[in-house]
Structure 1
Amino acid sequence: MRRNIYKSIVLFVLLLLYLTVPVAAFDGGDFYESKAETESVEINGEIEPQFRVFSDSGDIEENLKGDLEFVYPGNKHEFNVLIDYQVGAVEEIDFNEVNYKYYGEKYNFTVGKNIVIWGKGDKVHVLDNINAEDMSDFINPEYKKRQIGEEMVKVDRFFRGGSANLEFIYTQDFTPNRLAEDPDSPLGNWIINPFSAEMNLSDLERATGYSPAEIINRVKDSIPDEDNQFGLRFTDSRGGTDYGFSYYKGYLREPSYDKAALASEFEAFENGNTSFDSVLAAADLQYNEVDVFGFELARVIADINSRLELAYFRTDDTEGSDPRVRNNKIAWVIGGDRDLPISNLNLNLQFTGETILDDDQIDQNIAAINGEQTNIDLQYAEDGDYTTNRAVLKLEDSYQNEKIIPQLTWVYNLNEQDYTLEAAVDYELKQDLVLTFSHKIFRGEQDTTFGQFEDNDYSAFRLSYNF
């Protein structure tokens, strides 16, 4: 309750400042020290109606999304309000950014709801841990559009004329990823089973009598709220090389649970001896604490805009012996893009992956479940492979002074051999008005990241108007 009151007060104060500052400026009030700061409120936004035709069912879904941004800019002070609207999302209307920014010679200061992206990858990151993702539409929106604003205090300290920057971030709360809840959403059915390794979602529906939305919400409500995130990042540029070091202290956004207790209690539930809430309580879902140490690098090498992110995730299970806590791991992003000597083609190829440490301990976490010897580690892999790799390829061209932009995007998991492939064409009808045609497919086994959505292939027709 106290946290909700705090949020309400922060939002109220920021909105009040936002509304009163322009009035002072328009009335000739000397709110700022500099009289040059008399800019009026800037209003920007985007409206994007869309039709999706799902190949498997033939259903045609109408959708509408957009955003509205109010900015009061100045030489020293700036107020921002960003409202996102998305039909079919878990939060259809969301104040994704509401913040105040102060710009100084050596310091920048931000307070309020904000989005911060860390790392040198191109829309692919392992160092970007401050903000959660909205997965209501899976990973169909681009990376920035999936980010959820977080209330924070952010301080930037500049060195060497601004080429070096030390960032400090503190958030009072921790926001988990926002999962899809409605299988009949106009966005499509993008529900992800939280216990996919242990039981099928349809089996959960039959056993509980709950809808997928009720199951997801009960799982979400059973996880305790976590507080406080802290981040520190230093970035610099020397001799054509951009590099940085970062540290994050917070939580993993994929919840952990007691696999043995879940299986045992679920069997009792199927026999009518307990409730589904008791099953979730026994599973003891929680977000593991983590420290993330990161390094990032970007440089042009042989005409390739090269990028690197390297992260070490340190959890409480430093020996890998606790089956309920995720092991330490190393994660990476490496790749880059280059213009090709054909038309205006640009090829962007990045590899991202991770390797779980102390995996030999995972194989030893065995116990009796319902009379059978079973591995009870939630990260257990039958094939013994604890390294994952994903390739992200994007090929883009342009014609008629960038009025027509065809794109091909392929995301492929090398280990599980599942993938998503999208072909799209952007056509600029007039300035700020773009028509997009696209087709997207998903392939793989049903228990894989993309294979679980194999029935969700769709064609889309979208208009985007920016103002």
Structure 2
Amino acid sequence: MKKFIIVILIILNSVFFIKASDFGSSIQQKELEWGGNFQFDTRLYTESSNNELISGLDLDFNLSYSGENSEAEAVLNYNSKDDDIKLEEGYFRLFYGNFDLLIGKKKIVWGKGDKLHVVDNINPTDYSDFVNIDYLDRKIAQKMIKLDYYIGNGNFELIYLPEFEADNIPENGRWVPEEMEKLNNFEDELYNYGMNLVNNGFISLNELGKIRNEIEKEVRLPEYEEFKDGNIGLRYTNSIKGFDFGISYYNGRFKRPSLNYEVIRDIQYSISESTPEPDINNLTERIRDLNPHYDTLQVFGAEFSKILLGVNSRAEFAYFLTEDNEGTDPEIKNNRIGWIVGGDRNIGLNNLNLNIQLKGIKILNEEEIKNNEKTYYIINGGQQIPVIENIDVDYDDERNYLTNLMVAKLSDSYNHEKIKPEIDLVYNIETEDYLIENKIEFILKDETSLELRYVLYEGDGNTRFGQFDKNDFAALNFEYNF
């Protein structure tokens, strides 16, 4: 936070050297406005044994202030799940002749995709409710300094993020992903092994407590708060004769952590009763090599949109560059490429609109991933049996290093857009798991709406959507804007 304030002071100090004429000479009355959004959501989890019913309240309160050459906005949020009030967004913006300066906490979306992106790398994502809420609502606002410079129809953006913040991955509850479940199971294995040592008199409870404290310290993810850890984003967008395009560059980190899976495998086999020589002496030392971290990352992106043959076409392309160009380091994610292609079009029947997008990710150097293996030995029938384990952070059990996600939406509206039915399909082509959402929204009076929806998850248990096969739910959402 200290470095953020220092950078702000440097920029504000430079502002005083700009001529007063840049602000304009007339005096305009300043305005303070307020508004907000109230949502009440009730879900019935239809696959749970007791038909679990959960209700939640979400309240946003917006304050905005506008002057002749400046504006400020703050969004306060209350969520009954956390039972806490937080600053969702808060920033001020100064307007000069052909550039704007924004300082504060804000959500920024990059890319031409429709709520589906590969170049949108500024803000992390909150997965505590998986993908059950709107794309922008899932984003976590970041402290930033943002400069917009306008050249004709073009816009050049420069963003500096003094602090790194990762995706919010739930550690417990209904929406814990598979990778977090594996880490939780690993912690349980360590705990059970420790209690076994205590019960058999090898160590005392006090010694076990010290070991647990050491483990918790070593597996804690690092915080990147030094000035050199700041993230930078650059983007240029323009529009020429109906063709919208942009290029971008992001220098920061992956929002998902990496660690040394060789250590996890070593420890799992070391504490297993089926190993030849269980090793308890080096457990703490080995855990220090877990090295949880967020890999450094550079993303080179491009984006396009244009109406082609009546289709609102859009595309994004990105190259993700890590520090492991050869793909040989099992602790660092490999380079990869990503793309978005798709568009939407009115069908011509009532107000039907069909929107289809495809998102692809290809992890490079997959042969190197497959080669990052290690042989362990277990005892079976008095004999040592070799077991080969892959220790690469990018390793996939199904060897899927090319993934394609199709998102399709069919929407309509009736009665002067007061009744809006919609069906959404999100389908992983390689793993054949999917999400289907059926919903209908009724626009009532005075900025009030009522929405009914049903969300269904299907697929194998180790897939993105199949892991939540038991989380199908019906929901009723009441929303009021004021």
2:338 maps to 1:345: no
2:60 maps to 1:67: yes
Query: Relative to structure 1, is the Cα distance of residues 194 and 283 closer, same or farther in structure 2, using a 3 angstrom cutoff?
Result: farther
Query: Relative to structure 1, is the Cα distance of residues 461 and 219 closer, same or farther in structure 2, using a 3 angstrom cutoff?
Result: farther
The answer for the alignment partner of 1:179 in structure 2 is 169
TM-score, length of structure 1 as denominator length: 0.85
2:287 maps to 1:283: no
Please, which of 50, 57, 73 is the counterpart of residue 80 of structure 1?
Answer: 73
SS of residue paired to 1:126: coil
2:100 maps to 1:102: no
Mark the runs of 5 or more structure 2 residues left unpaired by the alignment: 9-22, 195-211, 273-277, 378-385
Separation in 2 of the partners of 1:8 and 1:321? 40
Separation in 1 of the partners of 2:62 and 2:310? 37
Please, which of 45, 48, 67 is the counterpart of residue 54 of structure 1?
Answer: 45
SS of residue paired to 2:264: helix
For residues 34-433 of structure 1, the aligned pairs below 5 Å read 36-57=27-48, 58-88=51-81, 92-160=84-152, 163-183=153-173, 189-194=174-179, 199=182, 201=184, 204-205=187-188, 208=191, 222-226=220-224, 227-268=229-270, 273=280, 281-370=288-377, 372-433=387-448
Query: Relative to structure 1, is the Cα distance of residues 7 and 463 closer, same or farther in structure 2, using a 3 angstrom cutoff?
Result: farther
Deviation per CA, 1:305-341: give whole Å up to 9, x if none.
0000000000001011111111110001110110111
SS of residue paired to 1:453: helix
Separation in 1 of the partners of 2:93 and 2:287? 42
Check the 8 A contact 1:235/1:244 in 2, yes or no.
yes
Check the 8 A contact 2:219/2:292 in 1, yes or no.
no
Separation in 1 of the partners of 2:106 and 2:433? 34
SS of residue paired to 2:31: coil
Task: Report deviation, 1:114.
Answer: 1.2
Check the 8 A contact 2:171/2:180 in 1, yes or no.
no
One-letter identity of the residue aligned with 1:404: I
Separation in 2 of the partners of 1:451 and 1:132? 24
The answer for the alignment partner of 1:456 in structure 2 is 471
SS of residue paired to 2:262: helix
How many residues matched? 430
One-letter identity of the residue aligned with 2:437: E
Separation in 1 of the partners of 2:357 and 2:123? 22
Separation in 2 of the partners of 1:391 and 1:276? 44
Separation in 1 of the partners of 2:96 and 2:465? 46
Check the 8 A contact 1:219/1:280 in 2, yes or no.
no
Task: Report deviation, 1:35.
Answer: 5.2
SS of residue paired to 1:134: coil
Separation in 2 of the partners of 1:388 and 1:288? 21
Query: Relative to structure 1, is the Cα distance of residues 219 and 303 closer, same or farther in structure 2, using a 3 angstrom cutoff?
Result: farther
Task: Report deviation, 1:428.
Answer: 1.0
Check the 8 A contact 1:135/1:179 in 2, yes or no.
yes
Separation in 2 of the partners of 1:33 and 1:269? 73
Task: Report deviation, 1:207.
Answer: 5.1
Separation in 1 of the partners of 2:52 and 2:443? 27
Check the 8 A contact 2:178/2:467 in 1, yes or no.
no
Query: Relative to structure 1, is the Cα distance of residues 106 and 438 closer, same or farther in structure 2, using a 3 angstrom cutoff?
Result: same
Query: Relative to structure 1, is the Cα distance of residues 303 and 68 closer, same or farther in structure 2, using a 3 angstrom cutoff?
Result: same
Deviation per CA, 1:132-189: give whole Å up to 9, x if none.
01111111111110111111110011001xx100100011111000122442xxxxx1
Check the 8 A contact 2:269/2:376 in 1, yes or no.
no
Separation in 2 of the partners of 1:429 and 1:208? 54
Task: Report deviation, 1:74.
Answer: 2.6
Separation in 1 of the partners of 2:99 and 2:318? 27
Query: Relative to structure 1, is the Cα distance of residues 313 and 434 closer, same or farther in structure 2, using a 3 angstrom cutoff?
Result: same
Separation in 2 of the partners of 1:411 and 1:253? 22
Comparing 39-48 with 110-119, greater Cα deviation is found at 39-48
Query: Relative to structure 1, is the Cα distance of residues 158 and 275 closer, same or farther in structure 2, using a 3 angstrom cutoff?
Result: farther
Separation in 2 of the partners of 1:347 and 1:301? 15
Comparing 261-270 with 142-151, greater Cα deviation is found at 261-270
Comparing 47-56 with 280-289, greater Cα deviation is found at 280-289
Task: Report deviation, 1:37.
Answer: 3.1
Comparing 232-241 with 91-100, greater Cα deviation is found at 91-100
Check the 8 A contact 1:222/1:280 in 2, yes or no.
no
Separation in 1 of the partners of 2:478 and 2:435? 23
2:450 maps to 1:435: yes
One-letter identity of the residue aligned with 1:250: G
Mark the runs of 5 or more structure 1 residues left unpaired by the alignment: 12-31, 184-188
Query: Relative to structure 1, is the Cα distance of residues 383 and 49 closer, same or farther in structure 2, using a 3 angstrom cutoff?
Result: closer
Separation in 2 of the partners of 1:60 and 1:275? 47
Task: Report deviation, 1:360.
Answer: 1.7
Separation in 2 of the partners of 1:220 and 1:449? 29
Task: Report deviation, 1:375.
Answer: 2.2
The answer for the alignment partner of 2:208 in structure 1 is none
Separation in 1 of the partners of 2:353 and 2:259? 43
Separation in 2 of the partners of 1:179 and 1:72? 35
Query: Relative to structure 1, is the Cα distance of residues 256 and 200 closer, same or farther in structure 2, using a 3 angstrom cutoff?
Result: closer
Query: Relative to structure 1, is the Cα distance of residues 302 and 128 closer, same or farther in structure 2, using a 3 angstrom cutoff?
Result: same
Identity of aligned residues (%): 32
One-letter identity of the residue aligned with 2:149: R
Separation in 2 of the partners of 1:48 and 1:94? 16
Say what the alpha-carbon RMSD is for the aligned residues. 2.8
One-letter identity of the residue aligned with 2:191: T
Task: Report deviation, 1:36.
Answer: 4.5
SS of residue paired to 2:415: coil
Check the 8 A contact 1:208/1:276 in 2, yes or no.
no
Query: Relative to structure 1, is the Cα distance of residues 281 and 367 closer, same or farther in structure 2, using a 3 angstrom cutoff?
Result: same
Task: Report deviation, 1:342.
Answer: 0.9
Check the 8 A contact 1:169/1:232 in 2, yes or no.
yes
Check the 8 A contact 1:193/1:201 in 2, yes or no.
no
Query: Relative to structure 1, is the Cα distance of residues 195 and 280 closer, same or farther in structure 2, using a 3 angstrom cutoff?
Result: farther
